[in-house]
Amino acid sequence: MEKLHFTFKATQPITHPVHIGVVASGDLEVIMRPTTGDSELDIVTGSDGFHDVWQHVLERFFDRYPIQAKFEINDFGATPGVVNLRLTQAMEALKDAQ
């Protein structure tokens, strides 16, 4: 198990918390909460040694969606494809909630 932390500059605040995904192998859950500072991401992952993969996935995400939120991500061995899809789904849920 590995704990990762990332910080990104963000400009689009959220007003409601969002909880997407499930605790299941090959999957992950994403929780976003409103914040006032930079976007802080705390990631707990069962697959060690994927810091750079996460960095890459998250850079691409924040390039498209500079979401200002406190992120909590619990990863249970999801593939990068599943991670991307869950982040996309979280964006959809945010749009629905705002």
Q: Please report, as ranges, the residues that interact with another protein according to CB under 8 A.
A: 1, 18-27, 46-48, 77-79, 81-82, 85-86, 88-90, 92-93, 96
Cα 83 to Cα 15, 64, 75, 94: the distances in Å are 23, 15, 9, 17
**With respect to another protein, which residue has the nearer C-beta, 11 or 95?**
95
70 DSSP β-pair partners:
33, 40
**With respect to another protein, which residue has the nearer C-beta, 10 or 90?**
90
**With respect to another protein, which residue has the nearer C-beta, 1 or 52?**
1
93 φ, ψ (degrees, to nearest 5):
-65, -35
Q: How far is the CB of 15 from another protein (least distance, A)?
A: 16
Q: How far is the CB of 38 from another protein (least distance, A)?
A: 25
Q: Which amino acid is at 54?
A: W
Give the span between the Cα atoms of 93 and 87, in whole angstroms: 10
